[in-house]
Amino acid sequence: MSGYASDNGMYMPMEIPKLSEETLKSWANLSYKDIVKEISKLFIEDEIPAEKICELIDAGFETFKDPSSPIVTKTLAEDVKLLEMFHGKTLAFKDLSMCCTAQFINYFLDQSNSSATLLIATSGDTGSSALHAMSSIERVDIIVLLPKDRISQVQERQMTSVVSDNCHVIRADGTSDDTDVPLRKAFLDGELVKKHKLGTLNSVNWSRMMVQIAHHVYAYFEGKRTNPETDTVVFIPTGGLGNATAGCIAREMGLPIQMVCAVTNDALHRAVYNCDYSVTELTVSLASAMNLQVIYNFERILYLLSDMDTSLVKKIQEDYQERNKSTIPETLVNKLKEFMRVTKVTDEDIIETIKRCADENGGYVICPHTASALSAAYSLEALKDHNAVIYAAASPAKFSDALERAGVQWTGRNLAEELAAKEVRYTDWEASDDWLQKLLELLDTIHARRSAHSK
């Protein structure tokens, strides 16, 4: 349930299962949901019986618009495939991994007849996805820290409008990198973690990572359906590298995909092209869920690139965490560059791409994150020589400001109006407050309530 081990490193499997060519061939026509099941079985069949895994995954996807096909594929001009990953409850791709993870967590808590408290710092979509997935799971309390005034109104309302006694939404006056600090400190305290059974549902959560591996396997087959003879390149809108790291694991398993990470902040770009792994000033772009300088999951990519050299990863990460700056050996980034490229995207690129996509595709509207990925594809020379697959990360309905700026017509759901009608509940934490102290107080309150209930 926790992404971080008590030595401050991130959890990773000690062995990555391999997908043989035969296995891949035999999966070519599976549905996305079946691929999630196959991937999960490879990793956790020793912990949850296979049949139960399938049951839990089916239950998770019940919340989707069409539970039998959670992902909808569109074909755009120039044979570009676009995977709409946003047909879950909160209209962002995180619902895909979150709904399964919620089921897995509930399963383990049921088995041990216990409860847990999950802590989440969110840059926009993780929080609402987690709240919606967990609000009906009684064994779980969930605390979400959202960066006040730094995400869209719709995103904020999607969280504050989850009114349930096990959901605790905090509007903290800081960036999403700031809100991560007290959480990371809490996880370092082994006693505290044990007492409250602390876990997280951030992209550092291993289960979410595992489910996301399936995105890439499915994308690979969707790409191959365009042209079986050419490479498949996936275009990923990237922030904390959750989805991208899952892609690297898929690669390690033997999936022959090429990846392009679209970024609005340059942290990953500097790491890959300058070996400079550091935190600099945040660029606040229209793609709010990508506004991060701390690329959390990069540690996991380093682990894969270094052939699981944990002492090397530890050394790099210690530098990074102590001085916000570290250097990556060139041999490692060279391995990464064999299959990953990073493209920096500006707000102008995003606006231009939203417009161009609507113009060329009969008024089809995309969100700013999706636009960053599509912009990276448009900037690729000889786009037609590849099977390009774009990850459409969120519904445009969540980002009306950007759509207005691009001057495109949105005729879908009016979320702002739907959400404005709902009751809200939240607590504000000021920039000057001691957030760790506030967090500890809240944990005690939750603990006291649970103890009273169980008496």
Ligand X SMILES: *Cc1c(COP(=O)(O)O)cnc(C)c1O
**Span from 157-165, 189-197, 234-242, 410-418 in contact with ligand X (CB under 6 A):** 234-242
Site string for ligand X, 279-318 (x = CB under 6 A): ----------xx----------------------------
Instruction: Kindly state whether residue 394 participates in binding ligand X, applying the rule CB under 6 A.
Output: yes
- Give the shortest CB-124-to-ligand X separation in angstroms: 6
**Span from 49-57, 67-75, 220-228, 242-250 in contact with ligand X (CB under 6 A):** 242-250
* Binding-site member from 147, 242, 247, 396 for ligand X (CB under 6 A): 242
State which of positions 207-226 bind ligand X (CB under 6 A).
Answer: none
Site string for ligand X, 175-204 (x = CB under 6 A): ----------------------------x-
Of 4 and 443, the one with the shorter C-beta distance to ligand X is 4
Q: What CA–CA distance (Å, rounded) separates 254 from 324?
A: 33
Of 269 and 450, the one with the shorter C-beta distance to ligand X is 269
* Binding-site member from 243, 258, 264, 285 for ligand X (CB under 6 A): 243
CA-closest candidate to residue 446, choices 137, 102, 141, 114? 141
**Span from 22-30, 111-119, 165-173, 233-241 in contact with ligand X (CB under 6 A):** 233-241
Q: What CA–CA distance (Å, rounded) separates 231 from 11?
A: 31
Instruction: Kindly state whether residue 95 participates in binding ligand X, applying the rule CB under 6 A.
Output: no
- Give the shortest CB-205-to-ligand X separation in angstroms: 11
Of 248 and 442, the one with the shorter C-beta distance to ligand X is 248
Of 169 and 367, the one with the shorter C-beta distance to ligand X is 367
Of 3 and 242, the one with the shorter C-beta distance to ligand X is 242
- Give the shortest CB-177-to-ligand X separation in angstroms: 13
Instruction: Kindly state whether residue 241 participates in binding ligand X, applying the rule CB under 6 A.
Output: yes
* Binding-site member from 33, 94, 208, 251 for ligand X (CB under 6 A): 94
Instruction: Kindly state whether residue 144 participates in binding ligand X, applying the rule CB under 6 A.
Output: no
Binding site for ligand X (CB under 6 A): 92, 94, 124-125, 203, 237-244, 289-290, 369, 393-394
